[in-house]
């Protein structure tokens, strides 16, 4: 039985009066890649925000290394080793590529990732290091967003729809780097609408539908029928 | 020659106005907070200098060593304890709270120090001057004041674009919630920004106290000069703020030269002309 790095237990999340998550439970073992799939509005991004400490939730609904971290604050969650690649990339537009990466590293956690390693992973960023981040293509911006999260040397990396709005060839290119990232011993939670990509990358898959986990299991054992039933609720 | 002198004095005075403005635009740039109490904090710094000078018997310019850290500390605590709670999507709460703060500072100073105007005496340096030929002379004190203004602006520029804390200021200004997710503690970053703003306020307060008489009620007028310099220069540009301060100073000097009663009026008219013809300011920040 491998150590449970992250455990989510009976997580409820609300936006004002609207409840987005209902008793969601999941777990991620050390070094594991887990995918969370589901339709638009199923609560996938909300789940990641809760893990990252950006939402007010019960403390013991999210356990990291067995320590309750639910409800953040987000900057302390980063210091514990949880980094988020936010949906829509959310780069700092007035900062250059390199400055964006450096902001990610400002927390000062020790580990394998630094500017040099990020540039090795994404060589095309090095040539553009001094460009303003909005001048990059969508795929390059996504690489900056991933690099920025890695710069904090997380033990758990949360990736929110890194394929969003990108061309298939770029998506393949970015996903091709995931094994190299996972090889450093960190765990990943990947939120994806692209089910094929998710099943290819992850060992475990959770499917959310309207804020509830409708299916989970090993990626290999899930059939297409089971997934579409859980995905669409038909 | 008289006009050349007028313009020269206006430029030197503009340095002071640029410093009024620098702290104001720093705070607005980083956290979208319009600090209505900015002018009163300048006056507060002047009184902190007064107390320091009276207690220790040192030269007012030397008192900066104490007044700057004291004001910076006040700024950090003020931000963490009070102003951070007012920040959000709405610009109005910080506006109202700093307006209240302005009233409290003015009346607090009035209780403690009365409405009598006071002045700090910096000694011989106040009347020394350097002859630059052609019958023109530049006062040493205005020159120190202008040099400090340039140093403050250059220092801010360097801090914003060359240091980790400057990067954090810009990142938080771009997207506070994303900055928090990248591990920046926004409350602390905002606290540091306010500390920096009030460190500049401390320099301004001491210079103001040496330059002329002050009393608890003069803060709001300094706030207006600060606002005008920021808007003339263009928001978000440090060197633009310096230029804005200089334009305001020169306009006031020319107005005063024409008729002593037109001093402030000329400054306000220069401001209104810029606002009408170029509402984004003369040197707005170039969006990359």
Task: Sort strands A82-85 and B129-133 into parallel, antiparallel or unpaired.
Answer: unpaired
Residue A130 in contact with partner chain B when CB distance is under 8 A: no
Cα A225 to chain centroid distance, Å, stands at: 26
Residue A135 in contact with partner chain B when CB distance is under 8 A: yes
| Residues of A whose CB is below 8 A from B288 | 93-94, 132, 134-135
Residue A48 domain flag: yes
Complex confidence, ipTM: 0.90
Q: Do B174 and A94 touch (CB under 8 A)?
A: yes
Residue A75 domain flag: yes
Residue pointed to by tokens 């537009």: A93
Residue A193 domain flag: yes
CA distances (Å), origin B226, targets A28, A50, A80, B233: 54, 42, 42, 11
The answer for residues whose C-beta is within 8 angstroms of residue B237's C-beta and 6 or more apart is B281, B283, B284, B285
- The pTM assigned to this predicted structure is 0.92
Q: Do B174 and A107 touch (CB under 8 A)?
A: no
Nearest-angstrom CA–CA distance, A201 and A181: 12
Mutation target for B interface from A46, A51, A75: give the one with most B CBs within 10 A. A75
Q: Which of A52, A75, A132 sits opposite B184 (nearest CB)?
A: A75
Helix (H/G/I), strand (E/B), else coil: B74: helix
Residue A207 domain flag: yes
Say which range, A187-191, A215-219, B42-46, B185-189, has the weakest mean pLDDT. Answer: A215-219
Average pLDDT per run of 10 along chain A, which is 234 residues long? Answer: 83 95 95 92 94 94 95 93 95 96 93 95 95 94 96 96 91 91 92 87 93 92 85 78
pLDDT at site B55: 96
DSSP string for B133-195: ETTEEEEHHHHHHHHHHHHHHHHHHHHHHHSHHHHHHHHHHH-HHHHHHTT--HHHHHHHHHH
Could you tell me the CATH number of the domain that includes residue A41?
Answer: 3.40.50.300
The residues facing A13 across adjacent strands are A21
Residue A105 domain flag: no
Name the domain count of chain A: 1
Residue A36 domain flag: yes
Residue A135 domain flag: no
Which element (helix H / strand E) includes B13?
helix B2-31
pLDDT at site A226: 87
pLDDT at site A8: 96
Nearest-angstrom CA–CA distance, A195 and A192: 7
Residue A130 domain flag: no
Nearest-angstrom CA–CA distance, B274 and B283: 11
The answer for residues whose C-beta is within 8 angstroms of residue A86's C-beta and 6 or more apart is A145, A160, B178, B181
Q: Do A93 and B168 touch (CB under 8 A)?
A: no
Helix (H/G/I), strand (E/B), else coil: B128: coil
| Residues of A whose CB is below 8 A from B182 | 78, 103-104, 106-107, 148-149, 152
Q: How confident is the model at residue B286 (pLDDT cuts 50, 70, 90)?
A: low
Please give the backbone phi and psi of residue A135, each rounded to the nearest 5 degrees, phi first.
-80, -5
Return the half-sphere exposure (C-beta side, CA atoms, 13 A cut-off) of residue B123. Answer: 7
Nearest-angstrom CA–CA distance, B70 and A184: 47
> Nearest-CA residue of chain A relative to B286?
A94
Most confident of A36-40, B80-84, B282-286: B80-84
Range of the domain at A161: 4-93+154-232
């Amino acid at each position: 039985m491998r150590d449970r790095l992250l455990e989510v237990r009976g997580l409820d999340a609300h936006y004002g009066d609207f409840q987005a998550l209902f008793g969601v439970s999941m777990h991620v073992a050390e070094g594991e890649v887990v995918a969370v799939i589901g339709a638009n509005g199923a609560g996938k991004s909300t789940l990641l925000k809760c893990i990252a400490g950006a939402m007010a939730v019960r403390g013991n609904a999210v356990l990291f290394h067995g320590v309750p971290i639910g409800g953040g604050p987000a900057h302390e969650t980063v210091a514990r080793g949880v980094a988020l690649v936010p949906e829509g990339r959310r780069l700092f537009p007035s900062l250059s590529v390199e400055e964006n990466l450096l902001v990610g590293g400002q927390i000062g956690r020790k580990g394998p990732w630094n500017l040099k390693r990020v540039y090795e992973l994404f060589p095309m960023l090095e040539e553009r290091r001094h460009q303003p981040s909005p001048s990059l293509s969508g795929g390059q911006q996504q690489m900056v967003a991933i690099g920025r999260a890695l710069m904090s040397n997380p033990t758990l990396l949360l990736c929110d729809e890194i394929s969003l709005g990108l061309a298939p060839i770029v998506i393949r290119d970015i996903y091709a780097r995931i094994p190299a990232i996972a090889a450093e011993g960190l765990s990943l939670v990947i939120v994806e609408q692209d089910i094929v990509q998710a099943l290819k990358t992850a060992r475990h898959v959770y499917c959310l539908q309207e804020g509830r986990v409708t299916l989970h299991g090993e990626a290999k054992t899930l059939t297409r029928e089971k997934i579409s039933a859980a995905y669409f609720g038909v | 020659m008289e006009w050349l002198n007028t313009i020269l004095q206006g430029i030197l005075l503009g340095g002071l106005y640029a410093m009024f403005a620098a702290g104001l635009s720093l705070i607005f740039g980083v956290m979208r907070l319009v600090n209505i109490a900015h002018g009163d904090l300048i006056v507060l710094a002047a009184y902190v200098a007064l107390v320091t000078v009276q207690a220790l018997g040192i030269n007012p310019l030397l008192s900066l060593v104490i007044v700057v850290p004291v004001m910076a500390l006040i700024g950090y605590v003020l931000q963490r304890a009070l102003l951070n709670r007012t920040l959000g999507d709405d610009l109005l709460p910080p506006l109202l709270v700093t307006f209240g703060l302005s009233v409290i500072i003015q009346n607090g100073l009035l209780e403690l120090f009365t409405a009598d105007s006071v002045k700090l005496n910096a000694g011989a340096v106040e009347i020394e001057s350097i002859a630059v030929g052609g019958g023109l002379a530049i006062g040493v004190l205005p020159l120190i004041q202008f040099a400090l203004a340039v140093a403050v602006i250059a220092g801010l520029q360097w801090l914003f674009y060359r240091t980790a804390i400057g990067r954090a200021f810009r990142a938080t200004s771009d997207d506070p919630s994303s900055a928090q997710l990248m591990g920046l503690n926004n409350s602390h970053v905002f606290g540091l920004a306010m500390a920096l703003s009030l460190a500049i306020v401390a320099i301004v307060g001491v210079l103001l106290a040496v330059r002329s008489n002050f009393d608890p009620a003069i803060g709001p007028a300094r706030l207006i000069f600060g606002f005008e310099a920021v808007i003339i220069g263009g928001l978000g540009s440090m060197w633009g703020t310096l230029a804005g301060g200089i334009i305001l100073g020169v306009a006031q000097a020319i107005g005063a030269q024409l008729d002593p009663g037109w001093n402030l009026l000329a400054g306000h008219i220069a401001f209104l002309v810029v606002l009408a013809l170029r509402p984004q300011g003369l040197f707005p920040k170039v969006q990359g």
